[in-house]
Amino acid sequence: MLRVDDVHTYYGDSHILQGVSLEIPRAAIVGILGRNGAGKTTLVRSVMGFTPARRGRILFDEAEITRLRPYRIARLGLCVVSQGRQIFPSLDVAETLAVGARPKPDGWTVEKVYELFPPLRARAHHPAGRLSGGEQQMLAIGRSLMTNPSLLLLDEPTEGLSPLYIEAVGHVIRTLQQSGMSMLLVEQRLRFALLYADYVHIMSRGKIVHSSSPQELGRDADVRARYLGV
Amino acid sequence: MEFWVNQTFNGVSYAALLFLLGGGLTLIFGVMKIVNIAHGSFYLVGGYLGVALVAATGNFYLALLGAALAVAAGGVILERVFLRAVEGDDLRQMLLTMGIALFFQDACLLVWGGDPFNLRGPAYFAQSVKLGGFTFPILRLFMIAAAGVLFVVLWWFQEKTRAGAMVRAAIDNAEMTEALGINVPILKMAVFGLGAFLAGVAGVVGSAFMGIYPGLDFEILPYAFVVVIVGGMGSLSGAFVAALVLGLLDNFGKALFPEISYFTLFAPMAIVLAFRPTGLFGRA
């Protein structure tokens, strides 16, 4: 469904992604692990079109999206839950869910998002900036679901969350996968990624340095120590 | 008593002009994150076009609408053709608006010459309404009504419509807004056009109030900045409140302490910046 083919991305003159290739099959969760500064977020930004790749190609459902504007990429069925949640402080919860909604038959509705995340219903008319970190993460995921994506890019969705919320996010990821959604799951938490991903890549210095099943990585203490420090 | 009523009224009508001027600038800053140096030019061109259209049609309201729409169209074209070309580079965009401002300064001098113009409104603008022993000039009442109506309409649009929520989302976080599939480039163009429209209205109304002449573009620009900075960049309600506070302060300052009149307008800005660097309604 998504194919990243030898992608090179720069910030100004710094060469961040140095030839990254990977594939995300339909209804699969592909995990990306790596230390800070490995290029994980840059990979997400390149796919979403925020920081377009300078070389290489990115294909989504066989269509080239490498240099499309983010809103065009989004309309093809791709959405991102960005690191740090990126909530709109000027909007309340209901407005946040409605603002980017692209309804689809049998797709996500405000009602379904509230069923998935009950705490949001009670907060419908609260400013989004006043929600707790966990509630903001629910809102960030809900906001993306309202665009009815077929591929969701999750950039460290458990960052800064309490164990209870981490479990809730994991549960949602499972639910979404069962509904046929594909996901790119960028994570710092090894255990979380191993639990939910169907396939994992480790990035280091802008390259993919290890690819395997999560079970294999779980057994390979040497790789974990070398690239993740755990 | 008469002094206070008259000065308050004058202050509010001056505030109306300040809001028309600063409201557009704050919207443009909010969505595009650039300081539009050409905002004074939009005012100037709007004023001159207003004068020309009043002369051609004899109808002030037609001239007001025509001039403001023409300035808005010009703004849309400038955004689309020039600012878009250096998108993502805030400094270059700002320098470009500086260049645009200098261009229009000379272009206006070339077209309309160096003499000042007075924009002639309808005859009743020169009359007054008497109410409870006080007299209120109709021109000033019109300024207040125009600013009031535009503020209410814009506030309703921003707070109560989905398109308005898109604008607020883009002010908060343009990147995330675009990732939801919202066409942010079009949004920016529309907001730039809207800001130019408001400056055009201010130009026509302002010209009826105090005339128009070369150099006025850069003369009024600091006033627009003060409104935006005190109100908080990107906040329409902030611009409204700031314009009101500044209009009243400036008027009473000039009436009570004429020798420090410039101080009364810029001192509040310094105080607000010292205690709330993001402005009264601003976000960090």
- In chain B, which residue's Cα lies nearest the Cα of A153? B179
> pLDDT, tens digit, for every residue of B72-82?
999 999 999 99
**Residue B268 confidence class, pLDDT cut points 50, 70, 90:** confident
Please say if the pLDDT value at position B284 is more than 70: no
Q: Using an 8 Å CB-CB cutoff, list chain A residues near B181.
A: 71, 74-75, 79, 100, 102, 147
State pLDDT tens for residues A148-199.
999 999 999 999 899 999 999 999 999 999 999 999 999 999 999 999 999 9
What is this model's ipTM? 0.94
Q: Read off the tokens for A58.
A: 């990115």
Instruction: Name every residue in B having a CB less than 8 A away from some CB of A.
Output: 162, 165-166, 168-169, 171-173, 175-185, 283
Q: Can you tell me whether residue A101 is helix, strand or coil?
A: coil
The answer for A 56-85 residues in CB contact with B (under 8 A) is 69-71, 74-75, 79-80, 82
Given a cut of 90, whether residue B143 has pLDDT beyond it is: yes
Q: How far apart are CA A90 and CA A223, in angstroms?
A: 44
Q: What is residue A57's predicted lDDT score, i.e. its pLDDT?
A: 97
Nearest CA in chain A to B184: A71
A91·B173 Cβ contact <8 A:
no
Q: What is the C-alpha end-to-end distance of chain A, expressed in Å?
A: 32
pLDDT score of B269: 86
* Count of A-B CB contacts under 8 Å: 69
List chain B residues with CB under 8 Å of A71.
178-179, 181-185
Q: Alpha-carbon distance B203 to B17, whole Å?
A: 9
Q: Which residues are CB-contacts of B45 (< 8 A; sequence separation ≥ 6)?
A: B70, B71, B74, B104, B108, B200, B203
Strands A55-60 and A63-64: antiparallel
Q: Which residues on neighbouring strands pair with residue A155, listed in sequence order? A: A186
Residue B234 sits at φ, ψ, to 5 deg, of 95, -5
For B187, nearest residue in chain A (alpha carbons): A71
CATH number of the domain where residue A217 is located: 3.40.50.300
pLDDT tens sequence across A16-63: 999 999 999 999 999 999 999 999 999 999 999 999 999 999 999 999
Spatial distance between the Cα atoms of B274 and B284, rounded to a whole number of angstroms: 14
Nearest to B172 among A71, A88, A102 (CB): A88
CB of A175 within 8 Å of any CB in chain B? Answer: no
Tokens of B239: 């611009």
What Å distances lie between residue A33 and A112, A153, A167, B95, B183, CA to CA? 31, 14, 19, 42, 32
Measured in whole angstroms, how far is the alpha carbon of residue B202 from the centre of its chain? 6
A81: nearest CA partner in chain B: B176
Q: Do B180 and A143 touch (CB under 8 A)?
A: yes
Say which of A48, A91, A100 has its CB closest to residue B168.
Answer: A91
> In angstroms, what CA-CA distances link B19 with A89, A109, B64?
24, 39, 17
Q: What's the pLDDT band for B42 if we cut at 50, 70, 90?
A: very high
Q: How far apart are CA A166 and CA A28, in angstroms?
A: 20
How many domains are contained in chain A?
1
Residue by residue, DSSP assigns chain B as -HHHHHHHHHHHHHHHHHHHHHHHHHHHHHHH----TTHHHHHHHHHHHHHHHHHHHS-HHHHHHHHHHHHHHHHHHHHHHTGGGGTT-HHHHHHHHHHHHHHHHHHHHHHH-SS-B-----GGGG-EEEETTEEEEHHHHHHHHHHHHHHHHHHHHHHHSHHHHHHHHHHH-HHHHHHTT--HHHHHHHHHHHHHHHHHHHHHHHHHHH-B-TTHHHHHHHHHHHHHHHH-TT-HHHHHHHHHHHHHHHHHHHHH-GGGHHHHHHHHHHHHHHH-TT-TT---
Q: How much of chain A, in percent, has pLDDT values that exceed 90?
A: 93
How many Å lie between the alpha carbon of B12 and the closest alpha carbon of chain A? 28
Question: Which residues are CB-neighbours of A92 under 8 A, at least 6 positions away?
Answer: A124, A125, A126, A127, A128
Considering only CB atoms, A48 lies closest to which of B169, B179, B283, namely: B179
The reply to whether A8 falls in a domain is no
B242 vs B14, B47, B237, CA distance in Å?
12, 24, 8
The CATH number, out of the four listed (3.40.50, 1.10.10, 1.10.3470, 3.30.1360), of the domain defined by the range B2-275: 1.10.3470
Task: Yes or no: say if B234 and B29 are a contact pair by the CB < 8 Å rule.
Answer: yes
Given a contact cutoff of 8 angstroms between Cβ atoms, the answer to whether B95 and B102 are in contact is no
Closest CA to A146 of B158, B179, B188, B170: B179
Task: Please report the pLDDT score of residue B19 as a whole number.
Answer: 97
Give the other-Cβ count within 10 Å of A212's Cβ.
15
Judge whether residue B137 has pLDDT over 80.
yes
For an interface test with B, which of A45, A73, A88 has the most B Cβ atoms less than 10 Å from its Cβ?
Answer: A88
- Please answer yes or no on whether B171 and A90 come within 8 Å at the CB atom: yes
Given a cut of 90, whether residue A6 has pLDDT beyond it is yes
Q: Indicate whether B281 pLDDT > 90.
A: no
In a domain, A211, yes or no: yes
Does the pLDDT at position A145 exceed 90? yes
Owning domain of residue A33: 26-52+68-228
Q: For residue range B191-234, what is the model confidence (pLDDT) as tens digits?
A: 999 999 999 999 999 999 999 999 999 999 999 999 999 999 88
Using CB atoms, pick whichever of B169, B183, B185 lies closest to residue A88: B169
Amino acid at the residue B1? M
Q: Are A217 and A194 in contact (CB under 8 A)?
A: yes
User: What is the rounded average pLDDT for all residues in chain B?
Assistant: 93
Which of A149-153, B70-74, B138-142, B269-273 has the lowest average pLDDT? B269-273
DSSP state of A10: E
Residue A19 φ/ψ region, left for φ over 0, alpha for ψ in the -120 to 50 degree band, beta for the rest: left
Q: What percent of chain B has pLDDT over 90?
A: 77
CB contact under 8 A, B168 and A98: no
Helix (H, G, I), strand (E, B) or coil at A28: coil
User: Does residue A180 lie within any of the structural domains?
Assistant: yes
Within-domain flag for A184: yes
The DSSP letter of residue A128 is G
Is residue A9 in some structural domain? no
CA distance to A62, A83, A98, A139, A172, per residue, from A93 (Å): 35, 19, 9, 7, 19
| Average of per-residue pLDDT across B263-280 | 86
Kindly report, residue by residue over A91-121, the tens digit of the pLDDT: 999 999 999 999 999 999 999 999 999 999 9
A51 in helix, strand or coil?
coil
So where are chain B's domains? 2-275
